[in-house]
Amino acid sequence: MSASLRDHPVPALLAPGAATALMEAYRPATDRFLASPRHTLLGRGSAAGIPHGTSPLAHRVRDVLDALRRPDAPPPVVMGSLPFAPDAPPALAVPDMVHWAPPLREDPLVALPVPRDEHRPDWRVREVPSPERYGEAVAAAVARMRAGEFDKVVLARTLELASSREPDLSAMLRRLARRDPHGYSFAVPSGPGRTLVGASPELLVSRRGGLLTANPLAGSAPRSTDLAEDVRRAAALLESPKDLHEHAVVVTAVREALAPFCTRLEVPPRPTLVRTAALWHLSTTVTGELRDPDVTALDLASALHPTPAVCGTPTDVARAVIAASEPFDRGPYTGMVGWQDADGDGEWVVTIRCAEAEGRTLRLFAGAGVVAESTPEAETAETAAKFRTFLHAVGADL
Q: Categorize the per-residue pLDDT at 3 as very low, low, confident or very high, splitting at 50, 70 and 90.
A: very low
The Cβ of residue 74 has, within 10 Å, a number of other Cβ atoms equal to 20
Q: What is the per-residue pLDDT for 118?
A: 63
Choose among 59, 9, 17, 354: nearest CA to 197.
354
Please pick, among 127, 152, 326, 356, the residue that the annotation labels catalytic: 152
Average pLDDT over residues 20-33: 95
Average pLDDT over residues 90-115: 91
Q: What is the per-residue pLDDT for 398?
A: 53
Q: What is the per-residue pLDDT for 122?
A: 83
Instruction: State the Cα–Cα distance between residues 49 and 192, nearest whole angstrom.
Output: 13
Instruction: State the Cα–Cα distance between residues 69 and 266, nearest whole angstrom.
Output: 34
Q: What contacts 24, CB < 8 A, 6 or more positions away?
A: 170, 174
Choose among 285, 301, 288, 287: nearest CA to 344.
301
The answer to whether residues 154 and 309 touch, using CB atoms and an 8 Å cutoff, is yes
Q: What is the per-residue pLDDT for 390?
A: 78
| pLDDT tens digits for range 103-147 | 999 999 988 877 666 667 788 999 999 999 999 999 999 999 999
β partners of residue 79: 93, 339
Q: What is the per-residue pLDDT for 14?
A: 56
Instruction: State the Cα–Cα distance between residues 380 and 196, nearest whole angstrom.
Output: 24
Is the pLDDT at 362 greater than 60? The verdict is: yes
Choose among 80, 104, 125: nearest CA to 21.
104
Please pick, among 127, 202, 379, 382, the residue that the annotation labels catalytic: 202
Instruction: State the Cα–Cα distance between residues 49 and 131, nearest whole angstrom.
Output: 39
152 is catalytic: yes
Is the pLDDT at 195 greater than 50? The verdict is: yes
Q: Categorize the per-residue pLDDT at 74 as very low, low, confident or very high, splitting at 50, 70 and 90.
A: confident
| pLDDT tens digits for range 294-312 | 999 999 999 999 999 999 9
What's the chain look like in SS3? CCCCCCCCCCHHHHCCCHHHHHHHHCCCCCEEEEECCCCEEEEECCCEECCCCCCCHHHHHHHHHHHHCCCCCCCCEEEEEECCCCCCCCEEEECCEEEEECCHHHCHHHHCCCCCCCCCCCCEEEEECCHHHHHHHHHHHHHHHHCCCCCEEEEEEEEEEECCCCCCHHHHHHHHHHHCCCCEEEEEEEECCEEEEEEECCEEEEEECCEEEECCEEEEEECCCCHHHHHHHHHHHHHCHHHHHHHHHHHHHHHHHHHHHEEEEECCCCCEEEECCCEEEEECCEEEEECCCCCCHHHHHHHHCCCCCCCEECHHHHHHHHHHHCCCCCCCCCCEEEEEECCCCEEEEECCCEEEEECCEEEEEEEEEECCCCCHHHHHHHHHHHHHHHHHHHCCCC
This prediction's pTM: 0.91
| pLDDT tens digits for range 311-356 | 999 999 999 999 999 999 999 999 999 999 999 999 999 999 999 9
Is the pLDDT at 373 greater than 70? The verdict is: yes
Q: What is the per-residue pLDDT for 174?
A: 92
Mean of per-residue pLDDT scores for the chain: 91
Angle at alpha carbon of residue 237, lines to 233 and 242, rounded to 5°? 135
Q: Categorize the per-residue pLDDT at 5 as very low, low, confident or very high, splitting at 50, 70 and 90.
A: very low
Is the pLDDT at 13 greater than 90? The verdict is: no
Q: What is the per-residue pLDDT for 12?
A: 41
Task: Tell how far CA 389 is from the center of its chain.
Answer: 14
Is the pLDDT at 171 greater than 60? The verdict is: yes
149 is catalytic: no
Q: What is the per-residue pLDDT for 396?
A: 72
